[in-house]
Structure 1
Amino acid sequence: MLYKIASFLLLTVFFNTALAQNKPILSFNAGGDFKIVQFTDTHIDIPGNKNRDVFEIVRGIILEERPDLVVLTGDVVTQDDPIQAYQLFEDLFAEFSIPWVVAFGNHDSQHNASRVEIANFLAEFPHCLNADKEETYGNSNFVLTIAGEESKEEALIYIMDSNSNSTLQPQVGGYGWFDFSQVQWYREKSKGFTEVNRGNPLPALAFFHIPLPEYAQAWSNETNPAIGVKNEEECSPEINTGMFAAMLEAGDVMGTFVGHDHINDYIGVHHGIALAYGRVTKMMKNLEEDPLAGGRVIVIKEGKREFETWIRDMNGLKELEVKWPNSFVN
C-alpha cells in the first residue's frame, strides 16, 4: 500500500505521499494561522446506542470553528466492529473537506479489532491522515508537517500511541506508558527536523491519550496556576519512561494534548511546556458538576513559538481562553 513507504524524507516525501493518495496537505492560511480542534473520549457504540449524539456535537463545533485539522485523542470507538463508526466520522469530516487523525486510547482495541487492523483501515480513508509506518512500538506514531510560504515546513504535529495497560502486571498495575523505543523514535524525528531547519527546533504540538506523569506537577504549579478544572486525579502510568524529559531537551514541543480523564479540562505548564487536556466530547452523566461536552481548539501561529487555545462547548460557548506562553508568564 502507498502508505507503507520505506523511508521518510521530511516534507518532500510527505507531500509526494499525500498527493499520491489524494490526501490533504496541511498549511498555514493567508493570515498565518493553523487551527486544530481536538475531540476526545467519544466512546461511540452504535449497536449499543451509546453516544450517538457525539456526531452532532462534533458537527456543531466544526460549523462554529471551521478547523484546518481535527484530532481525535483516543477512546473513540468502543463497539466490536469499529469500521461503521469510523466511516461516520470520515463522512462527517469529508462533508467539510477537513483532514483528521486518530491517536489511540486504551479502549480502542479492547474489542474485536486490533490496533494494527484499525490503523490499516484508518489509513485508507481519503481525509484521514493516519500513516503509521510501524517504526516503533504502538500503532499510531507519526508526524504531520504544516507548511508555510514556499511549501517550507514551519510546524510539526506529533501523533503518538500512549498504549493501553501495564505490560508488567501484576507487579505494576494501571495504564500503559510510552515504550523506550517510542521515546527514541521521538528524539530521532525531532532531531531530523531540527537539523533540516539549520539547528532551530520547529514549533510543535503533541497529541496522545494518556496524560504524562508530569501533568500532576503542572496542576500543582503555584507560580503559574493551571487554567481549567481538575475533577479527578490524573490517571497517568505508574512508570515514567522519560518522554517529557525528551521533549524538554529537544526543544520543539510547545504543548501536549491528551484525553483519558473525562472530567479534567485544564491546561498548565511544567518547565515551560504546556500540558493540556481536551474537553470530553461525549455527554457526561453529572451535568451539574462535570464539564459540558465539547472540544478544545488550538491555533498555531506561523513563524512563532506560541499558540492560542480555548474550549468550545456543545452549546457554542467559548471557555477558558489561553495564550501560550503569555498567560503563564508572571
Structure 2
Amino acid sequence: MVGVDTSESRADSTRGGRVLRVGPLKPSLTETLVAEYDALELPEGDDRDQFLDAHGESVIAVVTSGRTGVDASLMARLPRLGAVVNFGVGYDTTDVDAAAERGIAVSNTPDVLTDCVADLAVGLVIDTMRGMSSAERFVRAGRWPVEGHPPLTRQVTGKRVGIIGLGRIGSAIAERLKGFRCTISYHNRNEIPGSPYSYAAGPAELADGVDVLVIAASGGSGTAHLVDRTVLEALGPQGYLINVARGSVVDEEALIELLAAGKLAGAGLDVFAHEPHVPEALRAMDNVVLLPHVGSATVQTRDAMEALTLENLDRFLADGTVVTPVTP
C-alpha cells in the first residue's frame, strides 16, 4: 500500500480535512473508511444541504463509485476538495471537466477488473447467441416434455465480431474471441497503430460488417447514444448487440423497437440507461439476456478494486497525487 499504512497514521493523515463517502460502496470498503479514516457519509434527501453547510468546508477527499459520482454542484459545496476517488473503472458520473478546472484529482480502478469484465462479455456473447438462458427457462418451466426441443440457435465460432472501444477491456475481449476463431474488427475515436484488427471509421460502418457488436467504450457525454438507431439498423436482423460498457452508449428506445420488430436477432446487456430500472419491454423478450451490472462482480476483482481505491486515497493524503489518475 502506498503512503500511510496503519489505522493510526491514516487517521493522522486526515487531520485538517475529512474524507467523505458519497453513495453506496462495498461494505468492507465502507467499514475501512469509517474505522481507519473516520470518513463522513453524505446523506440523501432533506438532510443533505444541512450536512454540507456543517461539513462541506472540511472535506478534502471523496470516495465514491461509478454509479454515483460527484457532479459539479456537489464539488461547489466542497471548497477544499482535492480528490475524487472512484471505486470502479467508470467515472462518467463524475464531472471530470469541472474537477480539472479546480485542480481536483480524479482516480479510478483500471486493469484490476479487465479480465473479469472480458470474461463476462464473452459469456454474454455465448449465452445470447446460443439461447442458453432461454433454454434454461424452457427446461425449468417443464416445456421440454410437452413441446419438444426449443428453436435452433446460432453458432459462435467463426463469427465476425466488432468491438466499440478497443481499450484494456475491449482488447481482452478480442483476445478471448480469437479462441473461437472469430474475425475481429473495431472502432475507436482514433485508429490504433499496429493493431492486428481491422479498423472501421465509424460505428455504423463497423456494425454493417459484423455478426456481433460488442460495446466496451467508456461512458459520458462523448459517447452518449454512440450506438444509435442508424448503427443498430446497420447491425441488422441477423445481428447481436452485447453491452458491458454503459447504458448511455446505446439508444435504448431504438434498441427495444428494433428487437420487437425482429430487426435485431438479440442482445446481451449488463448495463442499462436508467439503472437499476430495466424497461418491461426488455424483460419480456426471450432473445435478450439481462444482467444487473455485474461485470466486475467477483470476490477477487472487487477485493482488488477495494485495495486500489484505498491506495489512491492513501497516495492523495500522503502527497496530493493519485496512483491511477483520469483526465477529461
TM-score by length of 1: 0.31
TM-score by length of 2: 0.31
Larger % of helix: which?
A: 2
Higher Rg: 2
Larger % of strand: which?
A: 1
